[in-house]
Amino acid sequence: MEEGLEARHQVTLSLLAQSSFLQPLVNRLSCFTLHRLTIYAIGGSISLASTDPFDQPLIDPAYLATEFDAFAMRESVKSVRRFLAAPAWKDYVIGPAGGLANATTDELLDDFIRRGTFTSAHPVGTAAMSARNAAFGVVDPDLLVKQVSGLRIVDASVMPFVTCGHTQAPVYIIAERAADLIKETWKI
């Protein structure tokens, strides 16, 4: 194995070793799939734990909070199972490992999915944008924090929902729009 590839392989093994969910895959010839529910039925919430600004906030991502979300993830896993059971994979795939091997019913599969669910992307929406007169949302369409003078938020937190693609390009667009708004405000 070439040196760079070997280094990446060791980093991957190290990351796997730190995850109890992926632990069964360490030091085995194996592959794994990640199932991602990008648009889910309801969003989570973030709130203050106390008046102390140094206290950690209360974060509830609301993973699989609706029956539809659970159904979508369950069907995703079942779909990959069917795909990997195809004759083309006969000599490559022996079978599922770890908790997935024992998830033989929908209830067990749901439990397996709930125990292994984590954020795989970039959470957004903690300071969601909404209409100026809306009772919800943190910033207005000009990225100004509502009920605060002169403060803008320019990052992924203003997106009212997760995009279906990576968040990098939308953040660039938000930043470019913010630059135009700031220049217009200051007549630059």
Enzyme catalytic residues: 122, 166
Which pair of structure tokens corresponds to residue 142?
């000009």
Q: What is d(CA 172, CA 165) in angstroms, rounded to the nearest whole number?
A: 13
Q: What is d(CA 134, CA 115) in angstroms, rounded to the nearest whole number?
A: 37
Contact 81, 96 (CB under 8 A): yes
User: Is the Cα dihedral 96, 98, 104, 107 positive or negative?
Assistant: negative
Which pair of structure tokens corresponds to residue 123?
């959470």
Within 10 A of 178 (CB to CB), how many other CB atoms are there? 17
Q: What is d(CA 136, CA 70) in angstroms, rounded to the nearest whole number?
A: 27
Contact 131, 137 (CB under 8 A): yes
